[in-house]
Amino acid sequence: MRPEERCCQVAPVLCEESDSVSGNPTIIIDEEDGSPQICRVCGDKANGYHFNVMSCEGCKGFFRRAMKRNVRLRCPFRKGTCEITQKTRRQCQACRLRKCLDSGMKKEMIMSEAAVEQRRALIKRRKKARMEAQPSTVPGLTQEQRMLIEELMDAQSKTFDTTFSHFKDFRLPKVFGSEHAISDFLQNSVREPSLSWEEIRKGLCPMKVSLQLRGEDGSVWNYNPPDYRDGKEIIPMLPHLADVSTYMFKGVINFAKVISYFRDLPIEDQISLLKGATFEMFILRLSTLFNSETGTWECGRLVYCFEDPEGGFQKLLLDPTIKFQYMLRKLQLHKEEYVLMQAISLFSPDRPGVVQRSSVDQLQERFALTLKAYIECNRPQPEHRFLFMKIMAALTELRSLNAQNTQQLLRIQDSNNSFTTPLIQELISNTDD
């Protein structure tokens, strides 16, 4: 083994990593001829004056560490006059240190650890101040996107009665006092279904629906359905649920009619889009009324709660609509994000019966890009960097819920048309999503 190799392996006391305070070394250019300045110690490209000498980052760090460690170095070749270049500077640390001192480096100019930390902190603060002073690189909303959101928000405020103050003359389930009365109600209200009760129940919510109605005088009326667990317990609530759903469906339809982009479409496409998206938009609006802490929908004076007869978390596992409500509320969406989701759902070009698919597809893309831009402008990163993808995934899941809901309503209609309304029958007719 050659002496220089032995020196590198046995005594690597001082490593060559950069010890720059700024962490961003630069190359100094000679103002006269434009050539890079060289290190006075080893001849490498210099990046500034260090300890009174123009030097490179490596020699600067070497000199600082050698002085601080106070290591006594000896030339392994016993000459003391080794030539120090960029290639040989690691072969003899003693001669390199001598070259540093001969070039004019001064030990007294080495900063203490405390001073170095203060300087690094100062550089960090200045860098942060510069970044904050620079304009944001995140693109803002265009004028068209801002106007689009304003139009949607205006349509929402005009058509979404969150207090349900105009929801009147609805049917309420009868309060029963005996099993005999319950049996009479079921016999008088329900003709013999074409499907068995068990088959109907498979298409219905597996839980009881309780209702609380608050009177204007402060009185409270509670309805808790009987517990049969044979598919019949939800029957008394169906007329009322049909009424409240129809009321919200009308609001969704009016929301679409207010949007100028929707009115510009042919009437046939308007009908096809509404048939396909009304339930999805209804679920999105319903989510804004859902209290995830109590598991209830607070619709003005009306409060709905799906009770789980089995207890525990069965309702989350068995009812995908309720599970979807919890998932959506967990995202803590803004009102603007909700209305954009409604618009994306409404303008779906793959709905059955849509003719101008290209135009509808372009509109849906415009709403989706607006949603993405809104999130980027109004949501802190990186906490919400996946929010747009989560919302789009939620809309995909909503399509699945839509298909399930249509099948449920068709089963109910097969049982008795009185449990639906003309609008609901129109929405589910000739749909094959």
Taking the domains of the chain in order of start, what are their residue ranges? 3-132, 143-428
Cβ atoms of residues 235 and 203 within 8 Å? no
Name every residue whose Cβ is closer than 8 Å to that of residue 129 and which is 6 or more positions away in sequence: none
Using CA atoms, how far apart are residues 53 and 100, in angstroms rounded to an integer? 8
Confidence of residue 191 (pLDDT cuts 50, 70, 90): very low
Nearest-CA neighbor of 68 among 11, 122, 109? 109
pTM: 0.61
Confidence of residue 399 (pLDDT cuts 50, 70, 90): very high
DSSP 136: P
> What is the rounded distance in angstroms from the CA atom of residue 239 to the CA atom of residue 418?
7
- Does the pLDDT of residue 216 top 80, yes or no? no
pLDDT at 384 over 60: yes
Measure Cα distances from 22 to 44, 56, 121 in Å. 20, 14, 10
Q: Give yes or no for residue 175 having a pLDDT over 70.
A: no
Tokens linked to 416: 């008795």
Q: What is the pLDDT of residues 75-129, one digit of tens each?
A: 988 788 899 999 999 999 999 999 999 999 999 988 888 888 898 899 888 888 8
Q: pLDDT digits over 296-305, tens only? A: 999 999 999 8
Q: What is the pLDDT of residue 26?
A: 52
Q: Specify the length of the chain in residues.
A: 433
* Segment 228-247 mean pLDDT: 77
Phi/psi for 385 (5° steps) reads -70, -20
> 164 near 301, Cβ under 8 Å?
yes
- The confidence band for 260, taking pLDDT boundaries of 50, 70 and 90, is very high
Lowest-confidence pick of 85-94, 163-172, 186-195, 306-315: 186-195
Helix (H, G, I), strand (E, B) or coil at 286: helix
Instruction: Give me the amino acid identity at 135.
Output: P
User: 125: which 2 tokens?
Assistant: 């603060």
Residues 137-141: what's their mean pLDDT?
Answer: 64
Instruction: Report the pLDDT value the prediction gives residue 185, as an integer from 0 to 100.
Output: 41
- In this predicted model, what pLDDT tens digit does every residue of 21-65 receive, in sequence order? 444 445 555 555 666 789 999 999 999 899 999 999 999 999 999
Please report the pLDDT score of residue 13 as a whole number: 35
Give the right CATH number for 3-132 from 3.10.180.10, 3.30.70.3040, 3.30.50.10, 3.40.50.920: 3.30.50.10
Class of the CATH-defined domain 143-428: mainly alpha
**What is the mean pLDDT of the segment spanning 420-427?**
86
Sheet-wide strand order for 296-299 = 220-223, 208-214, 302-307, 296-299, 290-291
CB atoms near residue 71 (< 10 Å) = 14
Cβ(235)–Cβ(188) under 8 Å?
Answer: no
| CA gap 45, 40 in Å, rounded | 10
- Cβ atoms of residues 19 and 49 within 8 Å: no
pLDDT band at 250 (very low <50, low <70, confident <90, very high): very high
pLDDT of residue 40: 95
Q: Which residue from 230, 164, 176, 242 is spatially nearest to 200, judged by alpha carbons?
A: 230
Per-residue pLDDT, averaged over 212-219, amounts to: 82
pLDDT for 308 beyond 70:
no
The residues that bridge with 290 in the sheet, in sequence order, are 297
Other beta carbons within 10 Å of 290: 20
> To 10 degrees, the CA torsion angle through 90, 95, 101, 106?
40
Residue 287 has pLDDT above 70, yes or no: yes
Mean pLDDT of the chain: 80
Residue 15 has what pLDDT? 36
**Range of weakest confidence among 231-235, 258-262, 314-318, 406-410:** 314-318
Looking at the chain, the whole-number percentage of residues with pLDDT higher than 90 is 45
Q: Which two tokens stand for residue 133?
A: 């002073």
The per-residue pLDDT for 68 is 86
The two three-digit tokens of residue 335, written as one number: 């009102």
* The two structure tokens encoding residue 264: 């510009």
Three-state SS at 104: coil
CB 208 within 8 A of CB 136: no
Q: What is the pLDDT of residue 318?
A: 47
Torsion of CA 175, 178, 182, 185, to 10 degrees: -70
Phi and psi angles of residue 243, each rounded to the nearest 5 degrees, phi first:
-65, -45
Under a CB-based contact definition with an 8 Å cutoff, are residues 107 and 92 in contact?
A: no
Cβ distance 327 to 394 under 8 Å? yes
Give the other-Cβ count within 10 Å of 184's Cβ. Answer: 12
What gap in Å lies between CA 331 and CA 32, rounded to an integer? 62
- What pLDDT is stored for residue 310 in this prediction? 52
Of 422, 420, 414, 421, residue with least CA distance to 192: 414
Residue 372: pLDDT over 80: yes
- The closest of 16, 7, 15, 9 to 74, measured between CA atoms, is 7
SS3 for 238? helix
DSSP 156-207: HHHH--TT-TT--S---PPPP-SHHHHHHHHHHH-PPPSS-HHHHHHTS-SS
CB atoms closer than 10 angstroms to residue 124: 12
Task: Measure the CA–CA gap between 411 and 202, rounded to whole angstroms.
Answer: 9
